[in-house]
Amino acid sequence: MPRASTPTRLVVLTSLYVAQGLPFGFFSQCVPVLMRQSGASLLAVSASNLLALPWVLKLLWAPAFNHPRFANPRARRFSVLALQLTAVALLLLGTPLDPRAAAVPVFVLVVLSNLVSATQDIPTDAMTVEALEPGARGLGNGAQVAGYRLGMVIGGGYMLTVLDAQGWSSALGLLAGALVLTAVPLLVTGPLEPAEATSTPVPDAPAEGKAAPYFSAPGMASWFGVLVIYKLGTSFGTGSIRPMLVDWHYSLSDIGWMLGTLGSSAAIAGSVLGGFLTTRIARPLPTFALLQAVALSSWVLAAELHAGPWARELVTVAILAEHFTSGMATTALFTMMMNHCRPGLAASDYTTQASTVLIADGIVAIASGASAQALGYTGHLALASVVAFTAVAATFRVRPD
């Protein structure tokens, strides 16, 4: 079978990341809002981030996808499609549930959905690393982040509106249908053959690619430091945004529109621009991190004036600015993560890096509830902004790019 063109590969990969954003966007937007509306504390709401634990733990089973039996293009395609079908089945099984009366079954559904999506992400990421030439990785990661955010727009924006108007069953049924549609491009094109040069080797990494040499190779300690701190301030600050908007009396539809639709649309635009600029400017990581920190600071003003006459406009500007710059920063980070994958070990190397980011971000997202409860929303967001600017300074020093 002839190798698909770069635009075709980008369409296929984008559709697969849309598929990941659909259920995650819905559950990550829905669960905190429903919990806060039901009277849950900020600590309990922030603890709901633990439902995404499979996205962190996937590094434990990611090495299995390096095995030759699972690492060829046909096996990658089969794994992705099988896992996507499983995700559809889970959503359909969850349609009879009532999220306010059956919290435990809903939490189980969320965990299982995250487990399937996180596992699907492993062969999808490996396929992305292998299918894109190094020069196409900026645009490829722009498509990746944009696709994921488009899934968030549909799952976290539109579907929250459906949930508010038509109920849980209709929302999950539509999500399942959308997941089926995102599988069509991969079904039509067939397996994605790898590019001739699939990755940039890590200096001094042995051919076997053992985990210890990967971490101990020259420059890797600094790089993993960047992975830990790069989005720490943003994750810490925005971890309490949804309960904050509930406390400010925004409706479920308002939150879905502002965060899920406007915010994710801004992130898509930022991802596309970030993908274009990542390979064209000298230092994309610290540059985008600085923009991200400045944008996060706009939330401090929005929180301070949330009861004023321009409150809604300030919140909207803060959402657009934070999501746009976050899209740029995430695209640059993911591109550099691809460049730190060793030949033949993309499944585990990329997952290890991604899980490092998620572990750090997950810890501070959980801590955000305690911070907001102790400091108030304005103080919490101010502290998060300080963390974000500190990360910028550290990123300049380590020069990972």
Tell me the CB-side half-sphere exposure of residue 279, using CA atoms within 13 A. Answer: 17
Residue with tokens 């801590």: 367
DSSP labels for 219-276?
A: THHHHHHHHHHTTHHHHHHHTTHHHHHHHTT--HHHHIIIIIIIIHHHHHHHHHHHHH
pLDDT at 198: 45
Contact 84, 183 (CB under 8 A): yes
CA distances from 80 to 13, 86, 346 (A): 11, 10, 16
Question: Which residue has tokens 């929303």?
Answer: 377
Least Cα distance to 27 among 98, 114, 139, 92 occurs for 114
In the chain, the amino acid numbered 269 is A
SS3 content of the chain, % helix, strand, coil (to 5): 80, 0, 20
- In the chain, the domains with their CATH numbers are 6-398 (1.20.1250.20)
Closest CA to 185 of 291, 81, 57, 338: 81
**For residue 149, which of 357, 333, 323 has the smallest C-alpha distance?**
323
Measure the CA–CA gap between 368 and 374, rounded to whole angstroms. Answer: 10
Average per-residue pLDDT for the chain: 83
Q: Is the full-model pTM beyond 0.75?
A: no
Q: What is the pLDDT of residues 264-298, one digit of tens each?
A: 889 889 988 988 898 788 888 899 999 999 999 99
Instruction: Tell me which DSSP letter residue 58 carries.
Output: G
φ, ψ (nearest 5 deg) of residue 308: -85, 180
pLDDT of residue 270: 92
- pLDDT per residue as tens digits for the range 38-90: 777 877 777 777 788 888 888 889 888 888 888 888 999 999 999 999 999 99
Q: How far apart are CA 335 and CA 353, in angstroms?
A: 12
In the predicted model, is pLDDT for residue 201 greater than 50? no
DSSP state of 167: -
pLDDT at residue 2, rounded to an integer: 56
149-199 confidence digits (pLDDT tens): 888 778 877 787 888 788 888 889 999 999 999 999 999 988 888 876 444
Go through 363-391 and write b for each residue having 16 or more CB atoms within 10 A of its CB, e for each that does not.
bbbbbbbbbbbeeebbebbbbbbebbbeb
